[in-house]
């Protein structure tokens, strides 16, 4: 009898236990949390609502469903992968590309992107991350095919990177899958064989040497040209000074000539004698005049200066 009573009590408690379990289960479905690194899309009979406010939120169990979407920056490796210890290895079916001059190169890219519209990310495509990767690979191959192997490996890297970035942004806008490109950067570009790598390394070294020589030549030119211009300016100034001095000297000589000519016109004989004595004084400053009586006896001598003084 006691066993039957116990079984009856347990039987009566089973519905209560089931009800408690159902209530706890529904309670667990009635809330969700939004962290700093995600947004949550809540659907009510197929209608989606975005919840971005951080913290605890409530919803109707079963009727409403919450889908978390990671909104942090994600990355895709194209052309390579890494082992657990950080060692990179090439994925040839992604990295090998053909250039405009029909050469092959090994090109690795890293694509960074972020979910900016979680609703479109969830419902506008089945595999948005795969779409991002496929678009990126298509844009990279299309860009590389427009460059020669020389440019792609040496001087054209920055331009390739910029073009790829612009193309991916445009393609993602057209696809409208709620994803925005953050960055597209070249990790490595090199020929697929060691021999070609060595050859292109030598080409790159030669180009750097050329640029270095050009820079040194420009520096030398920039150093010498101002000095040459200064020297030319100094020579011109000296020539101008000499020209002015010569002109002034000539003007002075003309003035003296005119003065002497005027004196000559007024007193021709005196002027001739004075000019003769002045000339003889300059030519023969020590000249003495000896007067001979014709018999070989010197009667007297006169210094030229005395005669000059006597005539003045």
Mean pLDDT of 50-70: 79
pLDDT of residue 131: 95
Mean pLDDT comparison of 29-43, 129-143, 207-221, highest-scoring range = 129-143
Mean pLDDT of 275-291: 67
Higher-confidence residue: 310 or 52? 52
Mean pLDDT of 156-165: 93
State the average pLDDT for the chain. Answer: 80
Instruction: Answer whether residue 138 shows pLDDT above 90.
Output: yes
Bridge partners (DSSP) listed for residue 111:
76, 184
- Per-residue pLDDT band for 245 (boundaries 50, 70, 90) equals confident
- Per-residue pLDDT band for 73 (boundaries 50, 70, 90) equals very high
Mean pLDDT of 3-9: 56
Mean pLDDT of 43-66: 79
Instruction: Answer whether residue 308 shows pLDDT above 50.
Output: no
Mean pLDDT of 293-309: 52
Instruction: Tell me how far apart the alpha carbons of residues 186 and 9 are, in angstroms, rounded to a whole number.
Output: 73
- Per-residue pLDDT band for 211 (boundaries 50, 70, 90) equals confident
Mean pLDDT of 241-245: 87
pLDDT of residue 272: 73
pTM of the model: 0.55
Instruction: Tell me how far apart the alpha carbons of residues 58 and 28 are, in angstroms, rounded to a whole number.
Output: 10
Mean pLDDT of 66-92: 88
Mean pLDDT of 33-58: 82
pLDDT of residue 132: 95
Taking only the tens place, the pLDDT of each residue in 82-106 is: 888 878 888 888 888 889 988 888 8
pLDDT of residue 196: 60
Q: How many Cα atoms are found within 13 Å in the side-chain-facing hemisphere of 282?
A: 5
Beta-carbon neighbour count of residue 273 at 10 Å? Answer: 15
Instruction: Answer whether residue 74 shows pLDDT above 80.
Output: yes
Taking only the tens place, the pLDDT of each residue in 109-118 is: 999 999 999 9
Instruction: Answer whether residue 56 shows pLDDT above 90.
Output: no
Instruction: Tell me how far apart the alpha carbons of residues 249 and 228 are, in angstroms, rounded to a whole number.
Output: 31
Instruction: Tell me how far apart the alpha carbons of residues 110 and 76 are, in angstroms, rounded to a whole number.
Output: 6
């Amino acid at each position: 009898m006691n066993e039957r009573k116990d079984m009856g009590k347990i039987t009566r408690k089973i519905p209560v236990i089931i009800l408690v379990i159902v209530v706890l289960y529904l309670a667990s479905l009635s809330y969700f949390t939004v962290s700093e690194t995600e947004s949550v899309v809540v659907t009510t009979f197929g209608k989606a609502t975005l919840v971005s406010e951080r913290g605890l939120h409530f919803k109707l169990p079963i009727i409403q469903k919450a889908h978390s979407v990671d909104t942090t920056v994600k990355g895709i490796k194209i052309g390579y992968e890494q082992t657990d210890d950080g060692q990179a290895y090439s994925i040839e079916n992604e990295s090998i590309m053909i250039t405009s001059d029909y050469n092959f190169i090994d090109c690795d890219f890293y694509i960074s992107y972020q979910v900016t519209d979680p609703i479109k990310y969830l419902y506008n495509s089945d595999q948005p991350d795969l779409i991002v990767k496929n678009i990126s690979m298509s844009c990279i191959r299309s860009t590389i095919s427009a460059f020669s192997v020389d440019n792609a490996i040496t001087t054209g890297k920055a331009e390739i990177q910029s073009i790829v970035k612009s193309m991916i942004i445009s393609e993602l806008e057209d696809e409208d899958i709620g994803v925005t490109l953050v960055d597209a950067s070249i990790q490595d570009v090199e020929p697929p064989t060691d021999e070609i790598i060595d050859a292109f390394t030598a080409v790159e070294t030669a180009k750097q040497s050329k640029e270095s020589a050009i820079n040194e030549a420009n520096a030398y030119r920039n150093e010498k040209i101002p000095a040459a211009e200064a020297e030319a300016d100094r020579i011109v100034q000296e020539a101008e000074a000499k020209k002015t001095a010569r002109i002034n000297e000539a003007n002075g000589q003309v003035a003296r000539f005119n003065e002497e000519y005027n004196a000559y016109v007024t007193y021709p004989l005196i002027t001739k004698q004075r000019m003769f004595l002045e000339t003889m004084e300059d030519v023969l400053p020590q000249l003495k005049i000896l007067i001979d009586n014709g018999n070989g006896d010197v009667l007297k001598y006169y210094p030229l200066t005395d005669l000059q003084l006597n005539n003045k």
